[in-house]
Structure 1
């Protein structure tokens, strides 16, 4: 945060220096150059274009900066760089939280733990699960890491940030190569080896009652403020384009 403020201050100072470098400079006309007479009449006049008024209850530039800081896809912690789990709400579109695509939501969730620590019942259950995509006999032969997400942890996160649990989802995904679910361990598993969290960059925003509507990159994100002053995710949709 401190680094960004210093950078912005330097940039602003540079822009001001460039702007005011020309102030006070007067262009003179060479003596051999004829100065055209001033026109006193204009055949055509153009009406000034009215400025587009700001939306009622629009966010300030500072508030938009804070929104984008909260939605940054990565954050630093003492021991490394981590994906921001909040960005999982930007991996697929939904009209309401219950329509979340859990496969995409968990693909780069960032709050999972490692899978089985060794060959054993859990790894054997994974190999026997429908959709298991690998041809390996032992855990140390896995070409990519296994990420395990306790359903209780996923439910707690969804309830905190969207007011729902996985039981409220309109579609509960069947086990597949993209996301396995083991009922006996009540956990989800996926196998991503890269980091590609969802991205949303806010450009404009305004309040409508309890709703906070944010737009940017051709997308619209709607949050709802609770009585406790927190915000819940309500929808994430592409902006309708005028034809």
Structure 2
């Protein structure tokens, strides 16, 4: 018999995604959602399969793009699907930030000139910001730490795969920020086909991959692992 130990899977996962929705620019001001009409679905106390409806709610939460007023916004939690990891500390930061959709863009010439002198700067023939062929996206460490802590209960200090400043991800000590360069949007994707509860762990599978989330006491769903299914079963 199920009991309501956790709130509705769909509502909480949707709340999780809405804290990380943005486009390659500014996220919409109206980022909230009204869950007053959401039907409450009891989740199992012990290991148990998700229903078809619950799986659909999960996939809605993890859709790579969201539409609002005819504008597509990147679902930034999909960054957790851009590399495999047995624990969130081992995710690939370069891939995690490649299409994250939050943060800001460089618009100041002084910041651009500082970046030119940073290790790994890839645009050697570009001497001014207005000649850049693609936007420069900035991810301040404080903002990134807050995001990782919210969704995985870690910070950048816990990451094991932070590369040296390179053409794919430049680090600037003066601003304590990471920078990358993309003009398109290709967030990670995970389509859930089945799921089950194992205590506080929500184990989701699909497309030969296994995603594990942990239901925290405060209602958050924390990313715990993302692996090819054959490795997850070892």
**Could you tell me which residue of structure 2 aligns to residue 128 of structure 1?**
117
Q: Compare CA radii of gyration and give the structure with the larger one.
A: 1
TM-score, length-scaled by structure 2: 0.77
**Could you tell me which residue of structure 1 aligns to residue 68 of structure 2?**
77
SS of the residue corresponding to residue 106 of structure 1 reads helix
Instruction: Report how far residue 78 of structure 1 moved.
Output: 3.4
CA distance in 1 between counterparts of 2:215 and 2:49 reads 15
TM-score, length-scaled by structure 1: 0.74
Find runs of 4+ consecutive structure 1 residues off by over 6 angstroms: none
Pair 1:230-2:220 in alignment: yes
Instruction: Report how far residue 56 of structure 1 moved.
Output: 4.6
Deviations 1:13-70 (A, max 9, x none): xxxxxxxxxxxxxxxxxxxxxxxxxxxxxxxxxxxxxxxxxx9510000000000000
The correspondence for 2:199, drawn from 209, 231, 239, is 209
SS of the residue corresponding to residue 48 of structure 2 reads coil
CA distance in 1 between counterparts of 2:225 and 2:168 reads 24
Paired residues for 1:12-31 under 5 Å: none
RMSD: 1.5
Count residues with an aligned counterpart.
186
Tell which has more relative contact order, 1 or 2 (C-alpha 8 A, sep 6+): 2
SS of the residue corresponding to residue 240 of structure 1 reads helix
**Could you tell me which residue of structure 2 aligns to residue 167 of structure 1?**
157
Change (3 A) 1:80 1:229: same
Worse-superposed segment, 71-80 or 60-69: 71-80
Q: Which consecutive residues of structure 2, in runs of 5 or more, have no partner in the other structure?
A: 1-45
CA distance in 2 between counterparts of 1:56 and 1:78 reads 40
CA distance in 2 between counterparts of 1:103 and 1:171 reads 9
The correspondence for 2:133, drawn from 118, 139, 143, is 143
SS of the residue corresponding to residue 212 of structure 1 reads strand
The correspondence for 2:101, drawn from 99, 103, 110, is 110
CA distance in 1 between counterparts of 2:50 and 2:219 reads 16
Q: Which consecutive residues of structure 1, in runs of 5 or more, have no partner in the other structure?
A: 1-54
Instruction: Report how far residue 171 of structure 1 moved.
Output: 2.5
Pair 1:199-2:219 in alignment: no
Instruction: Report how far residue 157 of structure 1 moved.
Output: 0.5
SS of the residue corresponding to residue 109 of structure 2 reads coil
Question: Is the 2:113–2:128 Cα contact (8 Å) retained in structure 1?
Answer: no
Question: Is the 2:152–2:224 Cα contact (8 Å) retained in structure 1?
Answer: yes
Deviations 1:81-139 (A, max 9, x none): 11100000000000001101111000000002111x2322x111110111111121111
**Could you tell me which residue of structure 1 aligns to residue 83 of structure 2?**
92
